[in-house]
Amino acid sequence: MKKVLYFGTLMLLMAVSVSFAQKKKKDGWITIFDGKSMDGWKVGENASTFSLENGTLKVAGPRAHIFYDGKVGEHNFKNFEFKAQVMTTPGSNSGIYFHTQYQEGGWPSKGYEVQVNNSHTDWRRTGSLYGVQDVKDVFVDDNVWYTEHIIVQGKHITIKINDKIVVDYVEPEEVATKVKDGGRKISNGTFALQGHDPKSIVYYKDIMVKPLGE
């Protein structure tokens, strides 16, 4: 009888595990940073700004940018959902770039930046589509993990902080004609995380992407 119960329990656990795996696959989310290494990510100047700490990507040091350079989507995304757990410390500034491309130094010249900043002197707060549709309100506190969620579908950009929509933006057609090579416009490309300055300390974990169809 005990063997029958054990076998039944084992089969039930296996069924639950398979169901969970299928759901995870069906949801379409793919992890691009697992907290164990920086494999699939590439940094130019000031690479020491980025380090691993307790399963997180710690950003602390001079201006630098780490670009996703991995195999998922051949690090080239057009329509997608991007999600990360983020924690800022007081006075810190960072950012999440999309539709960008690797460059050795300076501020990325291609793609949009989504702001990460709850208490820095820059008034553009977390969730801002930087310099395009800026957010003045503070929705999350420093030293607390929160979710930053970016959705791009066609010309439509949605930014959520802890599931609250803070930016809902449709890029005007004239942007594509005014902005030639690179620049702040919808196109395609990879993601980058920003190290803003030596006084800014920010943490990232559970970085995921869900590629979307045309």
120-163 pLDDT, tens per residue?
Answer: 999 999 999 999 999 999 999 999 999 999 999 999 999 999 99
| Residues 182, 109 contacting (CB under 8 angstroms) | yes
Instruction: Give yes or no for residue 213 having a pLDDT over 90.
Output: no
**Residue 115 neighbours by CB distance under 10 Å:** 26
| Residues 57, 205 contacting (CB under 8 angstroms) | yes
Q: How would residue 9 be classed by pLDDT, with cut points 50, 70 and 90?
A: very low
pLDDT digits (tens, 9 = 90+) for 21-69: 333 445 999 999 989 999 999 999 999 999 999 999 999 999 999 999 9
Considering only 72-76, 123-127, 180-184, 185-189, which range has the smallest mean pLDDT?
A: 180-184
Estimate to the nearest angstrom the gap between the alpha carbon of 189 and the chain centroid.
Answer: 13
Tokens of residue 109, six digits: 């010249």
Q: What is the pLDDT, as a whole number, of residue 181?
A: 60
Residues with Cβ < 8 Å from 111, sequence gap 6 or more?
97, 98, 99, 100, 101, 182, 184, 187, 189, 192
The stretch 62-89 carries a mean pLDDT of 98
